[in-house]
Amino acid sequence: MSKLTISRRTVLGGAAAIGATSFSILPARAGALDKVKQAGEFKFGLEVGYKPFEFRDDSGNLAGYDIDIANEVGKRLGVKATAVDTNWSTVIQTLYDGGFDLILGGMTATEKRFKRVNFSIPYMDASSGLLVKSDSGITDRKGLAGKAVSAGAGTPQINQLKLSAEELGISYDGDIKTYDSDAVAYEAMRAGRIAGYASTMVSLLEFTKATDGFTVLPFTSSKWSQEWTCMAFRKEDDDLRGAFNDALTAMKGDGTMKALQEKWFGRSFVDSLASEPPTW
């Protein structure tokens, strides 16, 4: 820390006086973007096992839409992208504890989460779906009455199941069960422990591609708004968020995002994505 003495002109009763003032110059505090560039990498939090967003391929390598998005943003920022596998139910707390620089893990932007983080512009549609067995006889949300239902731990689908019960005047068999990963929920469905599992439509459709005997129903209501998949940043890290938004906007404009969505989801959602970050 250095000290600097300067002259300060003051006006007292119409007369000018020269006074000496000493103050300390504090070192400039690097913003999140500067720290990332200085480190040569950004770390992003996710929970592996959310196919096709992030999963282990047959060789044990991390793959998926989020991985490709992160690597592309890193390339455009001139830094390395490093994934950090974490517990999704505590992912925001881990972000603030310094476990990583941002969350990039198929996160749905919600009002509750917005109280703690700021979101990027959407980079994927996050509409909800409901997984049921094809022979269950369940054809819509009302069919869940008296049934055991579930959702992923820490996901907005938990509240959506609650809102559905209130809206339709139905009750479930016991409390809404939560699972730390889709894989565990799928096993519970196979075993008949639950009759419906709410998650994002695209992840559930990915499961049914390789698994017979299951159907995905739309899970929508006027009780909740259009849902988007966004990256999440600490409230104070708007410089880093701005850089990522610029990269995502460029990827939408030059066709990169469209190509990655077609690779992982079989179709593009770019034209329907909002151009501004969701706020409440």
Same domain, 207 and 138: yes
Cα 65 to Cα 123, 158, 223: the distances in Å are 10, 24, 29
Percent pLDDT > 90 in the chain is 80
The pLDDT confidence band at residue 19, using thresholds 50, 70 and 90, is: very low
Residue 277 lies in a domain: no
pLDDT > 90? residue 22: no
**3-state class (DSSP) for residue 31:** coil
Q: Among 77-86, 222-231, 252-261, where is mean pLDDT lowest?
A: 222-231
Residue 141 lies in a domain: yes
CB atoms within 10 A of CB 147: 17
Domain with 177 in it: what CATH number? Answer: 3.40.190.10
pLDDT > 90? residue 62: yes
What backbone torsions phi and psi does residue 270 show, to the nearest 5 degrees?
-55, -45
pLDDT at 8: 31
> Of 218, 244, 264, which residue constitutes the final position of a domain?
218
pLDDT > 50? residue 15: no
The pLDDT confidence band at residue 234, using thresholds 50, 70 and 90, is: very high
The pLDDT confidence band at residue 225, using thresholds 50, 70 and 90, is: confident
pLDDT at 1: 39
The span from the CA of 80 to the CA of 39, in Å, is: 9
Same domain, 39 and 157: no
Range of the domain at 241: 32-125+230-272
pTM equals 0.74
Give Cα 79 to chain centroid, integer Å.
21
Same domain, 99 and 184: no
Which H/E stretch holds residue 55? strand 55-56
pLDDT > 80? residue 6: no
CB atoms within 10 A of CB 46: 25
Residue 212 lies in a domain: yes
The span from the CA of 93 to the CA of 43, in Å, is: 15
Same domain, 133 and 184: yes
**154: region left, alpha or beta (phi > 0 left; psi from -120 to 50 alpha):** left
pLDDT > 60? residue 136: yes
Same domain, 109 and 148: no
Extract the tokens encoding 259.
């190509």
Same domain, 54 and 167: no
* Domain total in the chain: 2
pLDDT at 266: 86
